Structure 1
């Protein structure tokens, strides 16, 4: 993670579900032809939105915009063959807006929603649920794993044994 992130926001599965449902309450009045998910981050929110809005047609725009080490490159791996009219475009987050700008050019008539948005990207989406600081790294539940953590007393015992063995 680069030095531009000074805060962390961890999203649990429960929080993600609550946030998606809240966003869907705002979208229920519209009739969408389908959903276009921006991969990979938009896949899970798109599936949850599809369930809540009973949308069966889902397509993808496949873009590699960055990984945790490099945010400089943008590669479109797969597009779609329409302008987005009547479609809901979904991503998990709009950050700097680089991906959002590229997708907006491909699908100018789609309604673009994200669950989370940072100030630089907010103007590029039609709707989002939660704004977070630009210097905040969002840790999504699909990027985390559950791991066993030893009780403190056992950790201390292991530390003492390791230090005694090292002397």
Structure 2
């Protein structure tokens, strides 16, 4: 079959239940590699990393949670990433014992910017695409590079045309 679907039509739809289950699975994986002194903090990459980071912080009983805001998308168009808000670097330092959490690593450009600020942190995402995989130490599910992931915070329930046939 000739696949003439547009990129957004090759979608991987993630429900709230699925992101919760997959984030918990990531927490369990991270629990197995906890540093001797424990995880000191979680840094969520906003906005997509907020929900997974909250779940992981809860599961691993990590009380210090901060954020880093990196803008790399304008709607669905990717651009050069820039940091628009940093965590408290006096607490985070170079990232020893720090988990950096995001929902997805796509090309890895966002994580590359963050890694330059926290080179010793452990980078983990719930989902990973092949180009970005080298930028993370831990992830749960790999999807193809040309798959668009639809997260629950980006969706609303609505009618969808059948894949084949209209009657």
Question: Shorter-chain TM-score: which interval?
Answer: 0.7 to 0.9
Moved more, 3-12 or 96-105: 3-12
1:86 corresponds to: 97
Alignment: residue pair count: 146
Selected match of 2:50 from 19, 43, 53: 43
Residues 20-53 of structure 1, C-alpha deviations (whole Å, 9 max, x = no match): 1111111113120010001111011100111111
TM superposition shift of 1:7: 1.4
How well do the aligned residues superpose, as a CA RMSD in angstroms? 1.5
Moved over 2 A (4+): 3-6, 67-70
Map 1:56-95 onto structure 2 (within 5 A): 56-80=63-87, 81=89, 82-95=93-106
Is residue 109 of structure 2 the alignment partner of residue 98 of structure 1? yes
Structure 1 length-normalised TM? 0.82
Map 1:10-159 onto structure 2 (within 5 A): 10-29=13-32, 30=34, 31-80=38-87, 81=89, 82-146=93-157
| SS at structure 2 position matched to 1:109 | coil
In terms of fraction of residues, the more helix-rich structure is 1
Residues 40 and 97 in structure 2, CA contact (< 8 A), matched pair in contact too: yes
